[in-house]
Structure 1
C-alpha cells in the first residue's frame, strides 16, 4: 500500500552500501469471540486447508509477514486465504452472517495496527489471488489483488510491458491502487487509480461485479481513490504501456546537509518545469541516521537514457554517492525495498501544500526541530519525504470520468510523507507526538502564507488523520451516496473498522 519509507531511506543504502446470508440488522453489532469463532468454524468446514488459527505454523508465518510491528502484534482470531472471487464472497457472507469483524490484506504494508489485520477477528488474506495475465492484444493486464508490484513487473517484463503501479517491491497491488497510487510513470500516465480499465469487486451482499466506466460508473469513480469502503477488489485490469526489456534509468544521490538549500531549489525548479520532460520522476528525502541529518534524491526516468538533462541541477550538487544507472523496473523496486525493512515500529503522516521553495525549506526546518528531542529513541530512523504532485499528474486525474481524490489545483503541489521507524513501544507516544507537531505547524504556516491544500493522500496518512473528508465536500458526499447504494447496511464501515472510513479515521474506529 504505502512506499515512501524506502524512498526516503535509499540514502541508507548509499551510505552503508458462497454462503447464504440471513437478514441482518442495519446497525452492525460489534464482534465477539463467539461471533468470530463461528465465522472461522464455518469457513474451515468449507475450506479446511485455507483457514489458519493460532498455534499453527501457517498462522505464525502469516503474522510474521507484515511490514510494521504494530500490525504483526494484533493477531486475528483466524486467517482465511481465498483463491478466487467466489471464495472471497463466501468470506463476506460469513462475516455478515456471524457479525464477525474482518480486515482485508493485500501486501500488508500499512503502518498502523488493524489496517489490514483484524485484532481477534477474521483477516482475509488475498495473497492467493495472484494472477498476472495479459489480454489477447496485450493492452490490458489482469492483476490479482494479492500480487506485489515486484511480481507484477517481473511477469510483464518478458512482454516488454509495464503498468502504472507501486515503487517498492513488496507493496501489494490492492491498497496502493485503491488509495491512489503514485508511480515512476505518473507524469506520463497519471496515478495507478487513473489507469484501471476494470475492477472485479465483491460487494457487501457477496455479489461479484465487473466495474468499469460503462457498467457501474458511480462505483468505478468511488474505487479510484476511495479506499476499501465499497467492496473487496479481487482483480484489477490495468492498462499496459511499452517498456522494452523492462529497462529505465534510476537510482539515488546522497548528500550532506550543507547542500540542503541547493537541493530544495532544484526540487522546486523540477516541480515547476517537469512538464518539459514527463519521463522524469523525483523524490527528495531528509533523514536522521548515524547521529546526523542527511539528504537523498531518488531520480527515475522512463527510458534507458543515462543522466537525463532534466536532472542536471541535482548532478551538479556535490554528492556523497551516486547509484544511478540503467536498470530494470523490477530491480529498482528491489533497491527501494532493501532500505524499507520489516519488523520495526512504524508511523506515516501526510500533508499537501502548494509548491514553494520557502514552504519546502520550512518543512525541513520543522522536521529537524521536532525530531531532535526524539532522536535518542532506540533504533529510530525518521524521514521527511517531499514529492511534487505535478500539473501533468493533476491533468491525468480527469480521464475516464475523473477520480475521487478531489485534487483540482492548476498549480503543482508538495506532497509530504513523514515516515518514522523505531524499535520500542515505550517511544510510541513521543514519536507520534513529534509527527503530529510537524503536521500541525507546517499546515498552519501554509495557511498563513496562502499555500494550504486540504488533500490527504491515503497511502501516506496516519491513523489519526481524516482522509476521505479531505477530498472536498462534493466528492465526500458522492462517495457516501455510492456506499449507501452498494452497501446499504454499512458492512464495510462497521464490520471492517480498521482502515480509512468515509466519516472517520482508523483511530476513532476502535
Structure 2
C-alpha cells in the first residue's frame, strides 16, 4: 500500500530522477571489503554485480574456469591506487571467509586470478608500454596484453621479449618466467626485467633492481605472486627486427620423425641461437578426424630457411606453408588461442631423448581415445606442446643476473612438455579430462624416471593447481624465496589474504 502511494504521488520516481541508485558505488554495499574501498575513496573504481560492466569484465576472462564472481572488482589506475586498494582491503573487517585475487591479463586456466568469496583487484588500467631511448628500457604495465605492448613499442622501433600468444597478460607471464621466441639469445622473459615497481603489503611502493632491493629483484624473476603487486616492469629493449615465421600442420604419421628432428635441434641449439622451435600435437574433430602434428618455426633475425630447420622442412605439410616476414606484434596478434571454454593443463620436463618423445606422443593418442569414449570427440580439442629446454638457457639466465626458476641446476638438455585440452561441454567433463591428464602426467614422470630421463622443473606458467612448481626450483631457491617473502611481507599477508596461485609458504624447505 505504501509503495502504491509512493508510485502514485511521483515521489518514488523523483528519487530515481535525481540519481539515487541501488548500484551507487558511493553507498554502502553490505560487503565489508567493498565498503572499505569506497571509504578509501575508490568508489568510482569499483564494479558491482548489479552493473552491466561487471558481467562484461567477468566474461572477458580467457577460460570459463576463471569466470568467478567476486563481491566487487576494483580497478586502480596507477600504483598509488593499487597501494590504496591493498591497504583498504587488508584493513577491512576480516569476519567471514573472504580473500583477495589479482588479475593482470586474465589469461589463465583458473585458480590464480579471480575469486568468488572476496574481491578481485583488476590491473587492466595499468596497461602502459613506453620507451626511454636513453636507458633503452621499455616500461610495461602488468595489465597490458602482449600484442598491444608490441604494437605500442613498434612505434619506437623496439620490442621486448614477451609472450607469443598476443592475448596473454604481462604480469603473470613475467612473474612465472616467460617462454619466448628469443630464448636462445635472451633467456626467459623475466631475465630482461631490469627493474620492478612493486607495492608491498604495508602500502609502500618500492623499486627492485640489481642495486636497490636486489634480493627482491631476483626473487621476482620466476618467484610468482608471493611478495606484493608489481605495477611496472622495466625491460631491456631490442631492435624491432622482423621475424621469419612459419606455422605448419603435418600428418600424424610423421610425428615420430619430427620428434627425432626436434631432439637433434635441441641438442644442437647453440648452433642456431636465433631460431625458435615449438612442436605440437592436436586433435580437433571439427577440422579433421585424426590427430595432427605441427611446428612453429621462427628465426628472430628474419633469416629465411635457417639451417636449424633444414631437416624439418623436408617433411611435407598437409597444406604448404611458406616462411613469412612478420613483426612480433603481427605474430602475437595472429597466435591467440581462443577462449570461452573449460580448460585443463599440466606440465613437466624430461630428458631430451627420442624414446621419451615417442612415449609422450603415444600418450597423447591414448588420451584422445579415452576422451572420445567418455565425452565424444566433438566436445574437446587437445593441444600438447613440446619446447626445447637446453642447459644453455640456464647459462644465459646466469649471465643476466640469474632467476629463481632453477633450470640452471639441470645437467642435461630437456624438453618442456605441456598438455592442454579445451572442454566444450561442462564442468563435470572438465574434471574428468583433468583427472585423465593428471594420471597421464604422473605416468610420463614415472616412465621418465624408469629410463633415467627424469628432470625436476615444473614450469609455473603451465602448471595445474595440483602441481608444485616452486618446490621444483631446488632447496636453495625455495629457502631464498622464503627469506625474501619474510623480509618484505613479515606478516605473511600475501600468503594468507592473497591465497591464489602458487605460494612459497606451502612449499617444504
Q: Same fold by TM (over 0.5)?
A: yes
2:228 to 226, 231, 242: 231
In the other structure, the counterpart of 2:252 is 257
Structure 2 residues not aligned, in runs of 5+: 1-27
In the other structure, the counterpart of 1:385 is 385
Structure 2 residue 469 is the aligned partner of structure 1 residue 470: no
In the other structure, the counterpart of 2:73 is 79
Partner SS state of residue 167, structure 1: coil
Q: Which moves more between the two structures, 305-314 or 492-501?
A: 305-314
C-alpha distance after superposition, 1:42-91 (max 9, x if no partner):
2234122210010211101110100000111x111100000111111111
For 1:71 and 1:93, how far apart are their aligned partners in 2?
A: 25
Correspondences of 1:125-204 after superposition (within 5 Å): 125-137=122-134, 139-204=136-201
Partner SS state of residue 66, structure 2: helix
For 1:323 and 1:438, how far apart are their aligned partners in 2?
A: 35
For 1:177 and 1:450, how far apart are their aligned partners in 2?
A: 31
In the other structure, the counterpart of 2:331 is 332
In the other structure, the counterpart of 2:22 is none
Residue 35 of structure 1 deviates from its aligned partner by 11
Residue 379 of structure 1 deviates from its aligned partner by 2.4
In the other structure, the counterpart of 1:248 is 243
TM-score (norm: length of structure 2): 0.89
2:499 to 476, 481, 497: 497
Residue 131 of structure 1 deviates from its aligned partner by 1.6
In the other structure, the counterpart of 1:299 is 297
**More relative contact order in 1 or in 2 (CA 8 Å, sep 6+)?**
1
For 1:166 and 1:172, how far apart are their aligned partners in 2?
A: 8
Q: Which moves more between the two structures, 251-260 or 370-379?
A: 370-379
In the other structure, the counterpart of 2:347 is 350
For 1:153 and 1:194, how far apart are their aligned partners in 2?
A: 18
Q: Which moves more between the two structures, 132-141 or 51-60?
A: 132-141
Residue 36 of structure 1 deviates from its aligned partner by 8.4
1:97 to 91, 111, 119: 91
Larger Rg: 2
Residue 400 of structure 1 deviates from its aligned partner by 4.1
Point out 4+ residue stretches in structure 1 off by more than 4 angstroms. none
The number of aligned residues is 466
In the other structure, the counterpart of 1:15 is none
TM-score (norm: length of structure 1): 0.89
Residue 243 of structure 1 deviates from its aligned partner by 2.1
C-alpha distance after superposition, 1:399-453 (max 9, x if no partner):
3431111112242210011011012222122201111111111100111111111
Structure-2 change in CA distance of 1:461 and 1:323 (3 Å): farther
In the other structure, the counterpart of 2:282 is 287
Q: Which moves more between the two structures, 269-278 or 363-372?
A: 363-372
C-alpha distance after superposition, 1:367-399 (max 9, x if no partner):
221331112445200121111112332211213
For 1:360 and 1:292, how far apart are their aligned partners in 2?
A: 19
